């Protein structure tokens, strides 16, 4: 699979503008032969839209998902993007996959902090997977990936690649998450982990950036820049944040057969 990963500056509360940004990225990714594009957490509404997210949430069969499916058909590649979902009498922080025909949705199970718990209902921990371009892919969202049990659940379900839309803010500890925890999750499960963050800032948050793709041997296959060090301690909505980027990387599980043989955590796990 050729994976495209979008680090984007979303406009909080402006779904049409964010869809247009994703459309541009899909066009560019398709021109470079990508099979799938990964966009950040709540990429369609913007993570920092606050209470307006409830009004922007997309119902089953709604216009935001229809727009993503149309773009997938038009550009000839699949997409996983974060959106707010309105279903079952609740608002969910969700990741949506579509290739223009088939689709799947994952609801964030581990909400982070008072901001998210005031806006969303947590989904049940689940191994949501789909097949695309010869791989089994699983989805998590941001804070979910910081719990090793969630990635292990997907690895045990057969995932080759874990796709993680995120909204990681600029703070002293968040660089550790992006550059240490993500490679460890890949290594301890012998899977690929793709981590797509926001860039820039909105009125509530400045984003760390540092989107990346980690391989089963713990190496970083592609990475985007992050917020400047002085911004990591800045308050919400201050600083310029990280720059936008489009990463392209080839995902080839066969190239890591030796790593999987030498680091057989899934085979040797005792519970």
Instruction: Classify burial at 109, counting beta carbons within 10 Å of its beta carbon; exposed 0-12, middle 13-18, buried 19 or more.
Output: middle
Domain count, the chain: 1
Task: Note if 212 is an active site residue.
Answer: no
Residue 6 has pLDDT above 80, yes or no: yes
Q: Which of 85, 108, 223, 231 is catalytic?
A: 108
* Backbone angles phi and psi of 33, in degrees to 5: 85, 20
Task: Note if 142 is an active site residue.
Answer: yes
> Domain residues for 222?
2-268
> What residues pair up with 249 in beta bridges, in sequence order?
3
> What residues pair up with 212 in beta bridges, in sequence order?
195, 223
For the chain, state the CA radius of gyration: 17
Q: What is the mean pLDDT of the chain?
A: 95
Query: What pLDDT is recorded for position 227?
Result: 83
State if pTM tops 0.85: yes
Q: Which of 85, 137, 142, 223 is catalytic?
A: 142
Pull the structure tokens for residue 51. 């209470």
Which strands form 192-196's sheet, in the order they lie side by side? 129-132, 135-139, 161-165, 192-196, 212-214, 220-223
Query: What pLDDT is recorded for position 230?
Result: 38
| Domain CATH code at residue 153 | 3.60.110.10
Cβ(167)–Cβ(197) below 8 Å: yes
Task: Note if 149 is an active site residue.
Answer: no
Question: Helix-strand-coil percent breakdown of the chain, rounded to 5?
Answer: 35, 25, 35
pLDDT digits (tens, 9 = 90+) for 80-105: 999 999 999 999 999 999 999 999 99
């Amino acid at each position: 699979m050729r994976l495209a990963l979008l680090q984007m500056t979303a406009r909080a509360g402006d779904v049409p503008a964010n869809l247009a940004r994703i459309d541009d990225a899909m066009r560019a990714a398709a021109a470079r032969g990508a099979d799938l594009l990964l966009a950040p957490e709540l990429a369609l509404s913007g993570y920092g839209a606050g209470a307006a997210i409830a009004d922007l949430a997309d119902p089953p069969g709604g216009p935001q998902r229809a727009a993503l499916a149309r773009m997938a058909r038009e550009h000839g590649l699949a997409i996983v993007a974060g959106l707010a979902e309105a279903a079952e009498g609740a608002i969910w922080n969700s990741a949506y996959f579509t290739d223009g025909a088939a689709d799947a949705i994952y609801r964030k199970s581990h909400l982070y902090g008072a901001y998210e718990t005031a806006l969303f209902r947590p989904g049940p921990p689940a191994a949501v997977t789909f097949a695309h371009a010869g791989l089994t892919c699983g989805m998590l969202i941001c804070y979910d990936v910081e719990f090793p049990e969630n990635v292990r659940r997907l690895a045990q379900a057969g995932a080759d690649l874990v796709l993680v839309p995120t909204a990681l803010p600029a703070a002293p500890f968040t660089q550790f998450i992006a550059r240490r925890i993500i490679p460890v999750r890949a290594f301890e499960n012998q899977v690929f982990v793709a981590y797509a963050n926001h860039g820039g800032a909105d009125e509530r948050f400045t984003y760390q950036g540092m989107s990346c793709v980690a391989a089963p041997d713990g190496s970083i296959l592609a990475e985007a820049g992050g917020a400047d060090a002085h911004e990591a301690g800045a308050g919400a909505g201050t600083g310029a944040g990280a720059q936008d980027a489009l990463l392209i990387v080839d995902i080839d599980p066969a190239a890591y057969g030796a790593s999987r043989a030498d680091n057989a955590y899934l085979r040797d796990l005792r519970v």
